[in-house]
Amino acid sequence: MKVAVIGSGVMGSGIAEVFAIYKNEVLLYDKYEEAIKKGLTNIKWSLEKLSEKRRINETPESILTRIQIIRSLEEVKGSELVIEAVPEDFNLKVSIFKEVEKNVDYSTMIATNTSSLPITELSMALNKRERFLGLHFFNPPVLMGLVEVIKGNYTSSEVFEKGIEIVKSIKKEPIPVRKDVIGFVVNRILFRVFTSACKLVSEGKYTVQEVDSAAKYTLGFPMGIFELLDYTGIDTNYLISKEVKSRGFNFDCPLINDLYTKGYLGTKVKKGFYDWSAGRPIIQKTSREPSPSEILGDAIDEAVWLIKNNVSTEDEINKATKLGLGWPKGILEYAKEINYV
Ligand code: CAA
């Protein structure tokens, strides 16, 4: 397939890498030369890592030949699928979709990797809205096994089914999101976890280290909750929280707003909740910790809401939280384990 990826940041470059690994011809666009350079450096580093670990059976150089940099949106012509992965700015995304639609065939599918904006609202930018869907990858796309496939009100069943097949073709697990709800499935749950963790710290009940100790050592998450906020980007989370709050979903964290104002944007500037200048922060086990239900209670309630509202099923939600977030158990498996009622 010929796939165009718009935006060469962490997500866009990761998505381009995944499609190239699975033998697709990839066009990668960014408006900023610096972002292209950084994106290509990330892809090369990641492919070298995968090669070292024998997780790819082709050389990085050979995979890279399938990624072509484009510097104009006119060059998306001929793509069968265009995936947008630019920052979470509604107007920016809309302007890109309008430009893309001018340059593609009638049959081209257009997808967004948005984490927080409604698919239906975004699709209104297009003349042919049934071609539009959400393909939501998780960071880092090359390692996380899940992609949410989201149906907007106008997405045709054919495009939705094709989205699911495309995700399978790149060896990821597709989770169908049947209703276009804010944050879809995984992020609705994750934003509750973030908000609960922030509240525990901002109200002075626990420290960042105590919350992350519980996340890593008691719940078995691959990263601490504040470590993950740094990893996914304080700026990204700030923009997401603003977008979802303006649409009535409460992802609220004064600690994020504060770091954002100071320019401590997480891993990318080597400072956020943690200091990343010497690499990944070391999270120690602390003697005092919040309980699992203090961290997960609101997220479990959210998972129940998703089931009651026919957005997803218990099995899908458990699978999605394991594959999308690397948790050893699904959110509703934790609920049973801790007898949360
Ligand atoms: N490509 C290739 N290799 C990579 C890589 C990448 N992009 N990123 C990390 N690695 C490598 C590391 O370099 C390391 O290699 P070495 O063993 O040679 O040092 C190896 O993978 C393992 O990494 P780590 O030792 O740092 O740590 P880990 O075992 O914890 O794995 C991880 C890293 C897969 C990222 C894991 O920590 C994890 O699953 N974290 C949770 C991530 C998560 O929750 N993602 C979803 C975020 S939410 C989101 O994305 C949605 C949104 O809309 C906001």
Q: Do 233 and 158 belong together in one domain?
A: no
pLDDT averaged over the chain? 97
CA distance 21 to 62: 9
With a 6 Å cutoff on the Cβ, whether 232 touches ligand 1 is yes
pLDDT in tens, 183-227: 999 999 999 999 999 999 999 999 999 999 999 999 999 999 999
Same domain, 156 and 286: no
Pocket test for ligand 1, best of 13, 52, 144, 251 (most atoms within 8 A of CB): 144
Is residue 144 in contact with ligand 1, taking CB distance under 6 Å? yes
Q: Which amino acid is at 12?
A: G
What is the structure's pLDDT at 319? 97
Which residue in this structure is represented by tokens 């699911």?
164
Peptide bond just before 140 cis, omega within 30 deg = yes
Give the pLDDT of residue 137: 98
Q: What number of helices (H) and strands (E) belong to the chain?
A: 14, 8
Decide: 50 in ligand 1 pocket, CB within 6 A: yes
Strand order in the sheet with 2-6: 67-70, 25-29, 2-6, 81-84, 109-112, 132-137, 146-150, 173-177
Q: Which pLDDT value is given to residue 293?
A: 96
Domain final residue, candidates 118, 144, 177: 177
Q: Residue type at 256?
A: I
Determine whether 46 is an active site residue.
no
Cα separation, 315 vs 281, in Å, equals 33
pLDDT attached to residue 334:
98
In sequence order, the β-bridge partners of residue 112 are: 84, 134
Note the pLDDT of residue 197: 98
Q: Check if the beta carbon of residue 135 is closer than 8 Å to that of residue 83.
A: yes
3-state SS class at 285: coil
Could you tell me the two tokens for 280? 């990944």
| 143 and 285 housed in the same domain | no
60: CA distance to ligand 1 center in Å? 19
Mean pLDDT of 146-175: 97
CB 97 within 8 A of CB 129: no
Kindly state if the Cβ of 323 falls inside 6 Å of ligand 1.
no
280-330, pLDDT tens digit by residue?
999 999 999 999 999 999 999 999 999 999 999 999 999 999 999 999 999
For ligand 1, is residue 325 a contact (CB within 6 Å)? yes
Q: Which of 115, 142, 177 is the last residue in one of the domains?
A: 177
**pLDDT tens, 86-128?**
999 999 999 999 999 999 999 999 999 999 899 999 999 999 9
Structural tokens at position 66? 């399938």
**What CATH number does the domain containing 57 carry?**
3.40.50.720
Q: Mean pLDDT, to the nearest integer, of 258-264?
A: 98
Which structural domain range is residue 324 located in?
186-337
Atom 42, ligand 1: residue with shortest CA distance: 325
Q: Please give the pLDDT value at position 82.
A: 98
Q: List pLDDT tens digits, range 58-73.
A: 999 999 999 999 999 9
Encode burial over 161-172: b for 16+ CB neighbours within 10 A, e otherwise. ebbbebbeebeb
Over residues 169-188, the mean pLDDT reads 96
Same domain, 157 and 230: no
What separation in angstroms does the CA of 240 have from each of 138, 311, 341? Answer: 14, 21, 29
Give the C-alpha separation, 28 to 140, whole Å: 17
- Active-site residue (options: 88, 148, 243, 302): 148
**Domain termination residue (choose one: 115, 144, 177):** 177
Q: Give how many domains the chain has, as a whole number.
A: 2
Question: Does residue 277 carry a catalytic annotation?
Answer: no
The model carries a pTM of: 0.96
Pocket test for ligand 1, best of 18, 48, 185, 223 (most atoms within 8 A of CB): 223
* Whether 187 is catalytic: yes
Amino acid 341: pLDDT: 76
Active site residue 293: no
Q: Once rounded to an integer, what is the mean pLDDT over residues 235-261?
A: 95
